[in-house]
Amino acid sequence: MENKELKEMYEAIIKSNVLYSKTLVTVGDSITYGEDMDEEGFTEDRTRMSYGWQIANRNNMKFYNLGKSGSTMADVEGKNGFSKENGRYTQMPDQIDYLTIFFGWNDAAYGKLGTIDDTTNETYYGGFNVVLPYLIKKYPDTKICLIVPFGASAGHRQAVREVADKWGVACFDMHKSGTPFHFTKEADVNVDKEIAEFRRAQYQAIGAHPNYKGHCLIGRMLEHFLRGI
């Protein structure tokens, strides 16, 4: 095959990749950040190969990891809430093509769930109801994707689904998509205990944190989803 044909084939592949050379921003807590990543999950310059980094790396994307360990969606004291007034959601890059938002574990542990009608950032529901209209208007062409956590609580998982419907944004449901991240922590999840422990050994680092293999799994599934929105 001649160089011209190879070049044309390469260009065709690039054109068919909707993610190629776009800008990806991942927002969330320690899971998004890549806390407790095992040694396999670091580049030579000690960059954490989080699920977002992996998606960006495969698709030549400009990438911003805005995950903050211990943070929440709601404005919880001492937790660097994403929806805090004049907070992190107002300080993101000017150009974003794909934005994922992934909170839940810390909100379930330290904050209030609230209801779909909440209009302040004092609850989990309310935080989304403050942040999402702002982001939709500021970034009208951005593909915004909320991520339903694989843990937290049934109420927090349902909240993400409901606010995604309310504001008309994409919703990647990790709880129902087959991601084997139950870790036997949720009482309302009827995963066989033996299998849960087996998967725990494969994909868990410490607590709710995925190891590198876990981030690989999340990254592959989320990347496939992002291509379709």
Q: 156 in a domain, yes or no? A: yes
- pLDDT-derived band at 207, boundaries 50, 70, 90: confident
Calculate the dihedral angle through the C-alpha atoms of 118, 114, 169, 153, rounding to the nearest 10 degrees.
180
Average pLDDT over residues 77-85: 96
Q: 104 in a domain, yes or no? A: yes
Q: What is the mean pLDDT of the chain?
A: 90
Q: What does the pLDDT look like over 112-155, one tens digit per residue?
A: 999 999 999 999 999 999 999 999 999 999 999 999 988 788 89
Answer whether residue 184 shows pLDDT above 50: no
- Rounded Cα gap, residues 217 and 191, in angstroms: 18
Task: Give the domain CATH number at 174.
Answer: 3.40.50.1110
**Bridge partners for 65 per DSSP:** 26
Q: 11 in a domain, yes or no? A: no
Buried b (16+ CB within 10 A) or exposed e, 67-88: bbbbbbbbbbeebbbbbbeebb
Q: 219 in a domain, yes or no? A: yes
Report the number of distinct structural domains present in the chain: 1
pLDDT at 50: 98
Answer whether residue 187 shows pLDDT above 60: no
pLDDT at 7: 60
State percent of the chain over pLDDT 70.
87
Q: 10 in a domain, yes or no? A: no
Residue range of the domain that includes 215: 19-227
Q: 154 in a domain, yes or no? A: yes
Calculate the dihedral angle through the C-alpha atoms of 113, 116, 122, 127, rounding to the nearest 10 degrees.
100
With residue 16 as reference, give the H or E element that holds it. Answer: helix 3-16
pLDDT at 58: 96
Tokens 């302040």 locate to 120
Rounded to the nearest 5°, which phi and psi values hold at 77?
-55, 130
DSSP code string of 32-58: HHTTT--GGGB-TT--B--HHHHHHHH
Q: What does the pLDDT look like over 89-117, one tens digit per residue?
A: 999 999 999 999 999 999 999 999 999 99
- Rounded Cα gap, residues 110 and 26, in angstroms: 22
- Rounded Cα gap, residues 121 and 114, in angstroms: 10
Q: 101 in a domain, yes or no? A: yes
Q: Are 73 and 83 in contact (CB under 8 A)?
A: yes
Answer whether residue 6 shows pLDDT above 90: no
Rg (alpha carbons) of the chain, rounded to whole number: 18
Q: 2 in a domain, yes or no? A: no
Nearest to 219 by CA among 77, 22, 26, 14: 26
What strands lie across the sheet with 170-173, from one edge to the other?
A: 62-67, 23-28, 98-102, 143-148, 170-173
pLDDT at 229: 94
pLDDT at 195: 77
The pTM of the full predicted model, rounded to 2 decimals, is: 0.91
Nearest to 175 by CA among 163, 165, 186: 186
